[in-house]
């Protein structure tokens, strides 16, 4: 009986040249990485003295790892200067989840069936914040996040620990491989001189610091040094009350510092930072985007900081108009009458009208829903009647409906769901100009209801192979065309012009889920907004198929876009509104 040949391993000749430390230890490291058999330890610890070449070895491995499936690194998180939360933000961002807390990251990884190869340089140099607090100790990151992560069966990891005893206690009970690089430095080492970084900050003629002109290393470590200053309280207060430093300083250092409740902070700053820090820790954001994000986070918690940041935020392509961190919402819809108000539903089932300028409730909805209904979506018609989609998949019409169209839609889908639960409604959307209602169902079908022809039934197409999670609609009265957008649990976004067949391929497909969708005609053309559960919002300019990605400050469950380009984002952790500069958004 013949046996199948073993799968070919990585070819070391295709990797970067074996030189220096890589020549001595690269083959052993590669043998560990390429051997995925159950008998081989899933964790390799790299030990050695400072300057022995550990980082060079890890860089060599990372540069060549993508050449073979068994060695590919899925995430590489430089642990130096990171505390537990910041490490989780960066790791979850690299894995495509968006910035998550440690607990939520572990929950996601526990159900994610994909293998994970993790590279962690400088674990022994992790930690941030006041030295006597847990976030400053590398052991806290190990205990709170890294050990639970390494114990997941799909995780393999290459971790640099220096000459520390990190992971030693866990390694005694687990199967771990150790690679000792050496105790002799490979070159001369020198400690940087201890200087007061704040004296190097450029200043205005009246002495105000110009943090946007300061060197990156200075912005990164100014707060760390202030915590060690002889008059630490005064030095830290000076930075925490300086809006310029809040904008340009290290978001991770600020987050670690503000986590210590003993340190006095301006009113609302801790709340602002909890909201903004996971996004500001992404170094890819420009200064203008950081200003816009921090302004949006401050708007509902720190009015003084928000006022300072407003001129900077207004230079960006989106600017927050209002924020209501106290307002949980489950559904939103643009009202087709009045002054452009919003109709919003909360988790208790109350439906109200919101003032577009403040986001505050102005009055109950014209047609309040039954007390038992918990709306997860809604459509508002010109006469003030509502069609609600509840958390059970039931459609509820409310208010006077002279044509009987909403009753007909609810009855049609209710009867269909009784016969086949797979066609239970799962998403609802509306078109402001035409009164068209769109329903998506659990089977992946999208139903388009024209109020003028509701008696003939919906125009329906099977667009997805999974339950629909969001739908939106645009009507173009000049040519009579109707464009329907939909998203489903298969991660696809599709477009369908109802007088023809759907587009053969998705507009977008990602390994995450769409949680909300809205569309509107704007002064610069029709726009589609799509919220994903990795904390990103994709704004599509439909005529040119250009897309702009924008970070989401709160988990989004509902979106509403007005013709004046005001986008409202809402979810269980509050709501906020953005004014979009559609003239520059896609430049």
Q: Is the pLDDT of residue 27 over 80?
A: yes
Of 269, 296, 316, the domain-final residue: 316
- The reported pLDDT for the residue numbered 509 is 95
- The reported pLDDT for the residue numbered 196 is 65
- The reported pLDDT for the residue numbered 195 is 59
- The reported pLDDT for the residue numbered 5 is 45
pLDDT > 90: percent of the chain: 72
Helix, strand or coil, per DSSP, at residue 159? strand
DSSP string spanning 452-514? GGGGG--EEEE--SS-EEEEEEEEETTTTEEEEEEEETTSEEEEEETTSPPPSS-SEE-SS-E
- The reported pLDDT for the residue numbered 220 is 93
Does residue 185 belong to any structural domain of this protein? no
Same domain, 232 and 338: no
| pLDDT-derived band at 81, boundaries 50, 70, 90 | very high
**pLDDT: is 579 or 190 the higher one?**
579
**pLDDT: is 59 or 338 the higher one?**
59
User: b or e along 566-582 (b: 16 or more beta carbons within 10 Å of the residue's beta carbon)?
Assistant: bbbbbbebbbbbbbbbb
Burial class (CB in 10 A: 0-12, 13-18, 19+), 393: middle
CA dihedral 170, 172, 176, 180 (to 10 degrees): 100
Cα 57 to its chain centre, rounded Å, is: 32
CA–CA separation, 45 and 174 (whole Å): 12
Q: Is the pLDDT of residue 367 over 90?
A: no
Same domain, 505 and 361: yes
- The reported pLDDT for the residue numbered 236 is 95
CA–CA separation, 221 and 536 (whole Å): 29
Does residue 1 belong to any structural domain of this protein? no
What does the chain come to in residues? 587
**pLDDT: is 456 or 168 the higher one?**
168
Does residue 585 belong to any structural domain of this protein? no
- The reported pLDDT for the residue numbered 131 is 94
Same domain, 334 and 302: no
**146-200 pLDDT, tens digit each:** 999 999 999 999 999 999 999 998 988 888 999 999 876 655 444 544 556 667 8
- Residue 377 in tokens: 């979506």
Backbone φ and ψ for 135, nearest 5 degrees, come out as: -60, -20
pLDDT > 70: percent of the chain: 94
CA dihedral 28, 29, 34, 40 (to 10 degrees): 80
Same domain, 174 and 202: no
Same domain, 46 and 79: yes
- The reported pLDDT for the residue numbered 562 is 93
CA–CA separation, 428 and 379 (whole Å): 7
Does residue 186 belong to any structural domain of this protein? no
The mean pLDDT value of the chain amounts to 90
Same domain, 412 and 533: yes
Cα 434 to its chain centre, rounded Å, is: 34
Give the CATH number for residue 29: 3.40.50.300
CA–CA separation, 556 and 568 (whole Å): 10
**pLDDT: is 196 or 116 the higher one?**
116
Q: Is the pLDDT of residue 3 over 50?
A: no
- The reported pLDDT for the residue numbered 454 is 67
Same domain, 279 and 350: no
Same domain, 334 and 209: no
Contact 146, 127 (CB under 8 A): no
**392-447 pLDDT, tens digit each:** 999 999 877 767 788 899 999 999 999 999 999 999 999 987 889 999 999 999 99
Helix axes of 269-280 and 84-94: crossing angle, nearest 10 degrees: 40
Q: Is the pLDDT of residue 110 over 90?
A: yes
CA–CA separation, 393 and 403 (whole Å): 23
CA–CA separation, 468 and 484 (whole Å): 13
**Hunting for tokens 């050990």 — which residue is that?**
147
Which of 164-168, 187-191, 471-475, 555-559 is predicted with the least confidence, judged by mean pLDDT?
Answer: 187-191
Q: Which of the 8 DSSP states describes residue 422?
A: G
Same domain, 217 and 355: no
- The reported pLDDT for the residue numbered 1 is 41
What domain range is 56 assigned to?
A: 12-180
Does residue 2 belong to any structural domain of this protein? no
User: b or e along 66-76 (b: 16 or more beta carbons within 10 Å of the residue's beta carbon)?
Assistant: eebeebebbbb
**Hunting for tokens 């994970």 — which residue is that?**
116
CA–CA separation, 553 and 297 (whole Å): 7
Q: What is the mean pLDDT of residues 368-374?
A: 70
- The reported pLDDT for the residue numbered 385 is 86
**Hunting for tokens 């430095």 — which residue is that?**
185
Tell me how many domains the chain contains.
3
How far the first Cα of the chain sits from its last, in Å, is 64
- The reported pLDDT for the residue numbered 12 is 67
- The reported pLDDT for the residue numbered 51 is 86
| pLDDT-derived band at 18, boundaries 50, 70, 90 | confident
Same domain, 238 and 275: yes
């Amino acid at each position: 009986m013949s046996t199948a040949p073993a799968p070919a391993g990585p070819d070391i000749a295709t990797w970067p040249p074996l030189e220096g430390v890589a020549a001595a230890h690269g083959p052993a490291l590669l043998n560990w990485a390429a051997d995925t058999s159950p008998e081989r330890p899933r964790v390799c610890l790299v030990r050695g003295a400072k300057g022995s070449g550990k980082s060079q070895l890890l860089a060599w491995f990372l540069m060549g790892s993508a050449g073979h499936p068994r060695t590919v690194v899925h995430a590489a998180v430089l642990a130096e200067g990171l505390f537990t939360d910041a490490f989780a933000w960066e790791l979850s961002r690299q894995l495509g989840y968006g910035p998550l807390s440690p607990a939520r990251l572990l929950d996601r990884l526990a159900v994610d069936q994909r293998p994970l190869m993790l590279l962690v340089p400088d674990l022994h140099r992790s930690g941030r914040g006041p030295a006597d607090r847990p976030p400053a100790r590398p052991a806290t990151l190990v205990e709170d996040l890294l050990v639970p992560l390494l114990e997941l069966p799909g995780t393999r990891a290459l971790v640099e620990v220096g000459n520390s005893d990190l992971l030693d206690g866990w390694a005694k009970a687990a199967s771990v491989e150790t690679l000792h690089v050496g105790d002799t430095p490979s070159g001369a080492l020198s400690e940087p001189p201890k200087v007061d970084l704040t004296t190097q900050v450029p200043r205005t003629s009246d002495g105000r610091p110009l943090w946007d002109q300061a060197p990156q290393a200075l912005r990164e470590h100014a707060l760390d040094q202030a915590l060690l200053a002889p008059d630490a309280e005064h030095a830290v207060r000076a930075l925490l009350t300086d809006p310029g430093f809040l904008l340009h300083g290290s978001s991770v250092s600020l987050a670690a510092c503000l986590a210590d409740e003993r340190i006095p902070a301006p009113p609302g700053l801790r709340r602002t930072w909890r909201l903004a820090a996971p996004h500001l820790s992404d170094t890819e954001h420009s200064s203008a985007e950081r200003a816009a994000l921090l302004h949006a986070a401050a708007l509902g918690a720190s009015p003084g900081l928000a006022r300072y940041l407003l001129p900077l935020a207004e230079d960006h392509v989106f600017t927050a108009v209002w924020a209501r961190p106290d307002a949980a919402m489950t559904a939103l819809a643009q009202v087709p009458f009045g002054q452009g108000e919003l109709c919003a539903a909360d988790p208790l089932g109350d439906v109200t009208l919101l003032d577009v300028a403040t986001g505050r409730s102005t009055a109950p909805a014209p047609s309040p829903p039954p007390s038992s209904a918990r709306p997860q979506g809604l459509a508002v018609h010109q006469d003030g009647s509502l069609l609600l989609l509840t958390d059970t998949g039931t459609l509820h019409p409310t208010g006077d409906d002279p044509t009987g169209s909403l009753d007909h839609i609810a009855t049609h889908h209710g009867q269909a769901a009784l016969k086949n639960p797979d066609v239970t409604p799962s998403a609802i959307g509306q078109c402001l100009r035409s009164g068209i209602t769109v329903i998506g169902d659990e089977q992946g079908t999208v139903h388009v209801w024209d109020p003028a022809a509701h008696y003939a039934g919906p125009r329906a197409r099977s667009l997805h192979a999974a339950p629909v999670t969001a739908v939106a609609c645009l009507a173009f009265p000049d040519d009579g065309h109707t464009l329907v957008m939909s998203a489903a649990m298969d991660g696809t976004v599709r477009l369908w012009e109802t007088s023809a067949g759907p587009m053969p391929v998705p507009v977008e497909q990602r390994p995450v889920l769409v949680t909300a969708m809205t569309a509107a005609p704007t002064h610069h053309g029709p726009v589609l907004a799509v919220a994903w559960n990795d904390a990103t919002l994709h704004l599509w300019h439909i005529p040119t198929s250009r897309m702009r990605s924008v970070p989401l400050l709160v988990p989004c469950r509902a979106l509403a876009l007005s013709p004046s380009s005001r986008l409202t984002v809402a979810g269980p952790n509050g709501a906020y509104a953005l004014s979009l500069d559609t003239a520059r958004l896609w430049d």
